[in-house]
Amino acid sequence: MSKVRPRVARGPQPQLLSSSYEDKLLRMVMTLATELAVTRERTDALETACRKAGIDVDAVLDDTSHVTHATRAERHRELAGRLLQILEEPS
Amino acid sequence: MAQESSPHPLFPHQSADERARHGFLVEFKRLLGSRYRENIRRSYEKTVLPDFLAQVGRAPQTRAEAKALLHRDEYFRLWTALARAQHQGYVDSTGACVERQAETLSAVARAVARSASRGSLRLDESLNIPAYQSELDVHCVPGGYFVELGADDVYAGARYELGITLFTLGAHGYMNDSKGIAGVNFLRQRFPQFTPQRVLELGCTAGNSTLPYVDAWPEAEVHGIDLSAPCLRYAHARSELLGRAVHYSQQNAESTAFPTGHFDLVVSHILLHELSAEALPRVFAECRRLLRPGGVMLHVEVPVRYSRLDAFEQALSDWDTDFNNEPFWEGLHATDLAAVAREVGFGSAEIFDVDLDPALMAFINRQPWMAFGARLPKSNGQ
């Protein structure tokens, strides 16, 4: 597709909490909670599959050699970016 | 590997992460809209009502009085902020979900349009979208019904169908067609001999409510019109893939190109609350023009009936006007629809305004859908 979808709806943006920044903070918490729910489902699916395959899940979790520091940092940056995206919207 | 079922081949595919995201947002909304919504009245009565009683000497008597108080209540404001955050979260996630597959969905729709043999699709690039629709993103959905990401785009229609499924927590049925089914059931019960040969749905969006009329009267010629080209492309492909013949065209319900007296039945579903006060009588007048003698106009709507609500509930029922870009919601529910219908020529005896089957509830306030409309007299005066 030649265009990207718009991200902000046109219309009133009511301030509901003490400041517009508190409203944004609440949305960040909501985003975080949603992504936590996604992660929990992924974890549950993978752990279930591992146990069915006879894998010791706790031992795997203790072993950090499978991923580099840079990969971990990139994942954290991606999540931080999703949270902070809200600050790019007008107050 | 087990996959969740899909209502039809064009329904947007949700990845595992998207299903998890949407599942969480649905359950969050379910909880916020039940247990925590009930707390709003308690907070109102405890925190803002006592000052009003002390100052004025009585409880709020009007919706405006109650709303002014309600909007100051801190619990209500936090609840509203959470509801908006949930809404924005699901709108963004469904948008991203559909955007990543927009090219594929559009290609499917394009292929269907080229090979379609049952119904038809007619778009009008020159159609003027009324300002009351084009200048605001209804339901706080960025781009609303009209955003087009590329050629032959169906993004807005696909996002609408995925979105409405989640917005209503699935309460409008697997095919999102409970409004249409409610309308058909009503017509069969109220007018048992009525067998329309031509049916028109105004504001058909993705065609969810259109198909029950095809199923109810398979011999009828069924039409659907809407302002949105991407929604109509989606509706047409969806109908074809589901094996139903519907003739979709891009038209304004205020003034269509159909001949006078062309239809036996003109219906709409949750359209009226998206019309401006100026457009509403024009749509009613167009319905009347389009109907043959003995024809029926039927509008299935969300049943906000202020006369049954106290001032507090009236104020709370306007939440969508105040916080969800539904600018005409409150105005519609304060309008005397029968008076508008009479003004455009329907007779008092022809008009009906009833609650529908309580088995098919409107999600938004858990009330039976309302049916407003009228049946023209038959030509012999019956």
Instruction: Name the amino acid, one letter, at B37.
Output: R
- Number of residues that this document lists for chain A: 91
- Number of residues that this document lists for chain B: 382
Q: Which residue has the higher pLDDT, A20 or B149?
A: B149
Percent of chain B with pLDDT over 70: 98
B4 in A contact zone (CB under 8 Å): no
pTM: 0.90
- For residue A65, the tally of other CB atoms under 10 A from its CB is 5
Give the model's confidence band at B277: pLDDT under 50 very low, under 70 low, under 90 confident, else very high.
very high
DSSP β-ladder status, B221-226 and B198-202? parallel
- Asked if B149 and A42 come within 8 Å (Cβ–Cβ), the reply is no
Among B residues 63-92, those touching chain A with beta carbons less than 8 Å apart: 77-78, 80-82, 84-86, 88-89, 91-92
pLDDT of B382: 42
pLDDT in tens, B141-173: 999 999 999 999 999 999 999 999 888 888 888
| Backbone angles phi and psi of B318, in degrees to 5 | -90, 10
Beta bridge mates, B354:
B371
pLDDT in tens, B223-251: 999 999 999 999 999 999 999 999 999 99
Beta bridge mates, B198:
B221
B153 in A contact zone (CB under 8 Å): yes
pLDDT of B34: 87
- Asked if B81 and A16 come within 8 Å (Cβ–Cβ), the reply is yes
- Rounded (10°) angle between helices A69-84 and A20-52: 140
Contact B213, B220 (CB under 8 A): yes
- Chain A residues with CB under 8 Å of B73 CB are none
Candidate from A2, A6, A14 with C-beta closest to B147? A6
Say whether pLDDT at B309 is over 80.
yes
* Token pair listed for B288: 């009347």
Mean predicted confidence (pLDDT) in A48-58: 94
Considering A60-64, A85-89, B316-320, B356-360, the range whose residues carry the highest mean pLDDT is: B316-320
pLDDT of B381: 46
- Chain B residues with CB under 8 Å of A21 CB are none
DSSP B139: G
| Averaged pLDDT of chain B | 93
Q: Which residue has the higher pLDDT, A83 or B51?
A: B51
The per-residue DSSP string of B4-63 comes to: ---SSTTSPP--HHHHHHHHHHHHHHHHHHTHHHHHHHHHIIIIIHHHHHHHHSS---SH
Contact B317, B311 (CB under 8 A): no
Min Cα distance B51 → chain A (Å) is 21
Say whether pLDDT at B122 is over 90.
yes
Distance from C-alpha of B176 to C-alpha of B263, rounded to nearest angstrom: 25
pLDDT of B172: 83
pLDDT of B157: 98
* Token pair listed for B181: 């089914």
Contact B293, B348 (CB under 8 A): no
Q: Which long-range contacts (CB under 8 A, 24 or more apart) does A32-37 make?
A: A32/A83, A33/B24, A33/B28, A34/B21, A34/B24, A34/B25, A34/B89, A34/B93, A35/A79, A35/A82, A35/B21, A37/B20, A37/B21, A37/B23, A37/B24
Min Cα distance A21 → chain B (Å) is 12
How far does Cα A7 stand from its chain's mean position? 17
Lowest-pLDDT range, B107-116, B121-130, B240-249, B343-352? B107-116
Mean predicted confidence (pLDDT) in B214-230: 98
Mean predicted confidence (pLDDT) in B170-177: 86
pLDDT of B288: 98
Candidate from B19, B85, B106 with C-beta closest to A26? B85
- Asked if A7 and B141 come within 8 Å (Cβ–Cβ), the reply is no
Distance from C-alpha of B322 to C-alpha of B316, rounded to nearest angstrom: 10
- Chain A residues with CB under 8 Å of B324 CB are none
- Asked if A41 and B91 come within 8 Å (Cβ–Cβ), the reply is no
Lowest-pLDDT range, A31-40, A64-73, B181-190? A64-73
Contacts across the A-B interface (CB distance below 8 Å): 100
Q: Residues of chain A whose C-beta is under 8 A from some C-beta in B?
A: 1-12, 14, 16-17, 23, 26-27, 29-31, 33-35, 37-38, 40-42, 45
User: Residue B225, class by beta-carbon neighbours within 10 Å (0-12 exposed, 13-18 middle, 19+ buried)?
Assistant: buried
Mean predicted confidence (pLDDT) in B16-40: 90
Helix (H, G, I), strand (E, B) or coil at B201: strand
Min Cα distance B100 → chain A (Å) is 9
pLDDT of B380: 47
Beta bridge mates, B247:
B120, B223
Cα–Cα distances (Å) from B62 to B185, B245, B315, in that order, read: 36, 48, 9
B99 in A contact zone (CB under 8 Å): yes
Contact B177, B204 (CB under 8 A): no
Distance from C-alpha of B170 to C-alpha of B130, rounded to nearest angstrom: 31
pLDDT of B190: 95
The per-residue DSSP string of B74-87 comes to: HHHHHHHHHHHHHH
- Residue whose pair of structure tokens reads 């752990």 in the numeric block: A47
pLDDT of B3: 56
User: Residue A82, class by beta-carbon neighbours within 10 Å (0-12 exposed, 13-18 middle, 19+ buried)?
Assistant: middle
Radius of gyration for chain B, computed over Cα atoms and rounded to the nearest angstrom: 21
Considering B3-17, B19-33, B90-104, B170-184, the range whose residues carry the highest mean pLDDT is: B90-104
The per-residue DSSP string of B252-321 comes to: BTTB-SSPTT-EEEEEEES-GGGS-TTHHHHHHHHHHHHEEEEEEEEEEE----GGGS-HHHHHHHTHHH
The enclosing H or E element of B367 equals strand B367-368
pLDDT of A43: 93
Q: Around A42, how many Cα atoms within 13 Å sit in the side-chain half-sphere?
A: 11
Min Cα distance B139 → chain A (Å) is 9
pLDDT of A87: 65
* Token pair listed for B144: 């609303």
Instruction: Tell me the domain boundaries of chain A.
Output: 20-57+67-88
Q: Both ends of chain A: CA-CA distance in Å?
A: 30
Distance from C-alpha of B227 to C-alpha of B134, rounded to nearest angstrom: 10
Distance from C-alpha of A1 to C-alpha of B248, rounded to nearest angstrom: 24
Say whether pLDDT at A20 is over 90.
no
Say whether pLDDT at B201 is over 60.
yes
